[in-house]
Amino acid sequence: MAEIVAAAAAVHAPQLLSRPPYEELDKLDSSTDALHAFGRVLQEARPDAVIVVGIDHLETFWLEAVPTFTLVISEECEAAYTRWRKRKKVHTSLAVDLLKGVIAQDFDLTYSQDAELGHAFLTPFEHILGDSDVPVIPLLVNTYLPPIPSPRRCYALGRAIAEALADRPEKIAVIASGGMSHFPGTARYTAPNYAFDKWLIQETAAGRYQDLLDLTPVNLDEVGESELLTWCVLLGMTGGELPGELLSYQELSHHGHGVIQFLPRPEQAEQPAETAEQAGELLPRYGGHTFTQDDFVYYRFPEPHSLPLNRFLREIITRADARDAFVTDRDAAIAASGLGAAEREALAAEGFDRLVELGAHPLLALSAWQVVKNQLAAAG
């Protein structure tokens, strides 16, 4: 029977790769230090394979097809973010058995033999796995293109994965690559819900997850926590009762960075320090947040009319030639885009709010702005 020997949930913010000078570098260092610390734990656990449950920031899949869950079963995989790239060997035989085993449980799962992964995978590849030759199994969860799965559906996938692995002899590690509260590319970009994060850290330390699993996808959109869906897959794989040890939590102006280790259990877990409950400092449910949204507000369904604009932004992010042309002569690149007057005007302006108003997906609008800004800064 496969044994899960190491498991953690980990931030994957692209700033941990690009380290732009306008960020709080000491906090980035604290996050990467925690990722490296879990990397050492994982190395000591000596797994035969690492299942990396990540998300897609519209880097791997495009609006031509939006799968809910996707398993990568190529012989190797590559993760990329602008000029940073890293290849890892895939444990293909285990991935194929996993695919067959999950589908045999009537759980539909897409697979790909030709997927280029984004920074949700590159960050753990770089800062947790490093130069280790342990093979990986990448699993993508759709978190930003509604309709998205619920926490309980993701937990159910984790349980199905555990069942599919039951007859395998390997030692397995799991990394849930997903951030805590943030609203990338939206009007709330600089207003994360840190109170919800702190409540979740409290509940994780106690091994309490039912309130998290009871949330809806719209609830997650409201508090900027849709990437917790990767955590829910991990919880399903581990049984949903293990407490987690906080390795790092950083409040950046735009993001709650969290790294939490579930396995192996730390030695001090046998005799825990005074809990929040014992100290009389228990945070209220959901950090005191009262949910009001009845539909997606921050990450809405992308209407078909916005496809040309979204395609243009994605090309800036994923194609070096398109990005270079935009940075070198923005006016000429915009004029050649074929977009309407409103879209061209928004592309010529600073920031990304107007692009989002016109139908750009917030992740694409923000990412395009970031990579252009970073390239201009690098050029001096």
Q: What's the CATH code of the domain at 14? A: 3.40.830.10
Q: Inform me whether the pLDDT recorded for 268 exceeds 60.
A: no
The phi, psi pair for 320, rounded to 5°, reads -60, -35
Boundary (domain end) residue, out of 244, 261, 288: 288
297 within domain boundaries: no
249 within domain boundaries: yes
| Same domain, yes or no: 314 and 243 | no
Confidence of residue 267 (pLDDT cuts 50, 70, 90): low
Q: Is the dihedral of CA 370, 174, 6, 264 positive or negative?
A: positive
Confidence of residue 30 (pLDDT cuts 50, 70, 90): very high
Boundary (domain end) residue, out of 229, 260, 288: 288
| Same domain, yes or no: 268 and 308 | no
Q: Is 40 exposed, middle or buried (0-12, 13-18, 19+ CB in 10 A)?
A: exposed
| Same domain, yes or no: 356 and 282 | no
295 within domain boundaries: no
- The string over 322-348, giving b where at least 16 C-beta atoms fall within 10 Å of a residue's C-beta and e elsewhere, is bbebbbeeeeebbeebebeeebbebbe
Q: With residue 308 as reference, give the H or E element that holds it.
A: helix 307-318
| Same domain, yes or no: 277 and 308 | no
| Same domain, yes or no: 19 and 75 | yes
Domain that holds residue 113: 3-288
| pLDDT recorded at residue 377 | 81
299 within domain boundaries: no
Confidence of residue 351 (pLDDT cuts 50, 70, 90): confident
Q: Which two tokens stand for residue 124?
A: 């753990």
Task: Select the more confidently predicted residue: 280 or 290.
Answer: 290
Q: Provide the domain count of the chain.
A: 2
Name the amino acid, one letter, at 222: E
77 within domain boundaries: yes
Q: Inform me whether the pLDDT recorded for 256 exceeds 90.
A: yes
Predicted TM-score (pTM) of this structure: 0.92
What are 126-160's pLDDT values in tens digits? Answer: 999 999 999 999 999 999 999 999 999 999 999 99
Boundary (domain end) residue, out of 257, 288, 319: 288
Give, in degrees to the nearest 5, the angle at Cα 209 between 203 and 211.
Answer: 95
Q: How far apart are the first and last CA of the chain?
A: 55
83 within domain boundaries: yes
Name the amino acid, one letter, at 292: T
What are 98-118's pLDDT values in tens digits? Answer: 999 999 999 999 999 999 999
| Same domain, yes or no: 324 and 270 | no
What are 43-95's pLDDT values in tens digits? Answer: 999 999 999 999 998 889 988 899 999 999 999 999 999 889 999 999 999 99
| Same domain, yes or no: 230 and 310 | no
Sheet of 116-117, strand order: 84-89, 76-81, 116-117
| Same domain, yes or no: 169 and 219 | yes
Rounded to whole angstroms, the Cα distance separating 252 from 343 reads 31
Confidence of residue 273 (pLDDT cuts 50, 70, 90): very low
Per cent of the chain over pLDDT 70 is 96
| pLDDT recorded at residue 277 | 54
Rounded to whole angstroms, the Cα distance separating 352 from 318 reads 18
Mean pLDDT of 346-373: 91
Confidence of residue 350 (pLDDT cuts 50, 70, 90): confident
| Same domain, yes or no: 102 and 21 | yes
For the chain, the average pLDDT equals 94
| Packing angle, helices 320-328 and 362-379, rounded to 10 | 70
Tokens 């495009």, located at residue: 62
**Residue 119 in contact with residue 57, Cβ under 8 Å?**
yes
Q: Inform me whether the pLDDT recorded for 270 exceeds 90.
A: no
Rounded to whole angstroms, the Cα distance separating 150 from 143 reads 10
Q: Inform me whether the pLDDT recorded for 274 exceeds 80.
A: no
Q: Inform me whether the pLDDT recorded for 214 exceeds 60.
A: yes
The phi, psi pair for 139, rounded to 5°, reads -130, 125
| pLDDT recorded at residue 220 | 98
Per cent of the chain over pLDDT 90 is 86
Strands 49-55, 171-177: pairing is parallel
| Same domain, yes or no: 372 and 278 | no
Rounded to whole angstroms, the Cα distance separating 283 from 247 reads 20
Q: With residue 311 as reference, give the H or E element that holds it.
A: helix 307-318
| pLDDT recorded at residue 271 | 43
Mean pLDDT of 337-351: 94
| Same domain, yes or no: 369 and 240 | no
In this structure, the chain runs to a length of 380
* Omega of the bond leading into 217 within 30 degrees of 0 (cis): no
